[in-house]
A = this chain, B = another copy of it.
């Protein structure tokens, strides 16, 4: 091809095509930030921290510069002016492109770089500091991160006209506001404490045999892999590894999830593996035709958590599911309890200090606490130095437990804030609410989940989720997606109904 013909072809590219190519390039760089994140949590030796933090900050800055490129703004304007020429799906892709641009342009590049650097440094040191209950060492690092998050919230607020915390929420749950959260997540305050009391009271009178024992970690890993396979995870397109904080990361075609193990309890690792497999199946089933484009990404973190919590709670807490897993568990582990007793263990409600180990009834209380702390950090009414007291007081209020002096299992337990990710936590409870709502909608079409699982029709359940959620990527907006799947917008009552049914009826 001669140069001038090539040039004409280039000129002939529509703005929309230029945009697609540009976002494809961005996705190639995001590939490496996903890889760097995964590697840091699973493989990287401590000595690699500094170089990794600097490289991640440089990469974040580069991605930011691609997302805020002036040409991108021109192409967006041009493509939007000619949106009528695009298909519905292309228009959805264009809408998401605009969203990514708006998210990026709201924050200056040097702040992105500074926050990434501070975040990775804080996270790297946190691993050991948490282990040593070293609040004094951790505090200045977290202070540096929170100061930058406040700057970020201000910048986002100034750019979007939203309130500071709303602007942060928007990153994870587009369109979500504090006000809407108060009527969904906040509403939990009205019914949760009483529910917890009732369930505790009911379970007090149930006989209970602990599943604690001695479970070699290598065997737990094999069990985890087998359960992932049962749940349809494709190991040709992903991995299972170990990290101190379980997560699902990776890139399309290569989804990497992690779990963490203790020798005296296999349930924690098993449930977190099931949880992460929910995330992973969503990622593995995103529309392949849209790979590398914004429309091909997962919808929001609330929807993402709805899939992991559907797996962990709606499936993992069901009697039929545990019965199906039970022979697999026995094959790998010397489990001293019956299938029935195992279900009692899994559905045991017991307020505890650790969010990731919490049962589904007390879990929302952990989120409420963090939701309130995040708002207070952003509106300036809470300082890092006062966080341990704040934590202790809220834990006492919501769950009747004290964390005084126990930073490790208190305000130092989560990875999110170390990385400056404020605004994420509400996604967990939104996810639990979406998951419950999806379950009721699914059952209206397919019949009870318990029956489907008993009849080995797990595939039907996954197909339903694939059709309604996974295959849609970002083609619909969150509310549209949930309405098309369930016939109505998010309704927090489904979670309450689910918990009532499972724990009190």
Contacts and interface: CB of A to CB of B under 8 A. Distances in A.
A280 to B, nearest CB: 12
A28 B47 contact: no
Interface string A93-113: 000000000000000000000
B43 A239 contact: yes
Contacts of A236: 45-47
A59 interface: yes
A234 interface: yes
A58 B45 contact: no
A52 B46 CA distance: 25
Contacts of A54: 28
A253 B58 contact: no
Nearest to A50: B253
Contact of A59 (B28, B237, B251, B253): B28
A70 interface: no
A28 B253 contact: no
A58 B254 contact: no
A44 interface: yes
A239 B59 contact: no
Nearest to A42: B43
Contacts of A32: 32, 35-36, 55, 59
Contact of A51 (B31, B46, B238): B31
| Overall SS of chain A's interface | helix
A252 B51 contact: yes
Contacts of A44: 254
Interface residues of A, number: 35
A375 interface: no
A29 interface: yes
Number of copies: 2
Interface string A211-254: 00000000000000000000000111111000000000011111
Contacts of A45: 235-239, 254
Interface string A1-37: 0000000000000000000000001001101100110
B251 A51 contact: yes
Given A239-B45, A254-B45, A254-B48, A58 B39 contact: no
Nearest to A30: B55
A254 B47 CA distance: 6
Contacts of A46: 236
Interface in A39-93: 39, 43-52, 54-55, 58-59, 62
Given A35-B36, A39-B35, A237-B48, A28 B58 contact: yes
B47 A237 contact: yes
Contacts of A252: 51
A43 B253 CA distance: 13
A234 B55 CA distance: 22
A55 B36 CA distance: 13
A234 B31 contact: no
A46 B253 CA distance: 9
Interface string A248-263: 0011111000000000
Contacts of A47: 234, 236-238, 253-254
Contacts of A39: 35, 39
Contacts of A55: 28-29, 31-32, 251
Contacts of A48: 237, 250-251, 253-254
A31 to B, nearest CB: 4
Interface in A423-479: none
A58 B44 CA distance: 24
A88 to B, nearest CB: 26
Question: Which 6 interchain pairs have the tightest Cβ spacing?
Answer: A48-B254, A47-B237, A28-B58, A31-B55, A32-B32, A28-B55
21 contacts: A28-B55, A28-B59, A29-B55, A29-B59, A31-B51, A31-B52, A31-B55, A32-B35, A32-B36, A44-B254, A45-B238, A45-B239, A45-B254, A47-B237, A47-B238, A47-B254, A48-B250, A48-B251, A49-B253, A51-B291, A62-B62
Given A39-B39, A47-B253, 10 more contacts: A28-B54, A29-B62, A31-B55, A32-B36, A43-B43, A44-B254, A45-B235, A46-B236, A48-B251, A62-B62
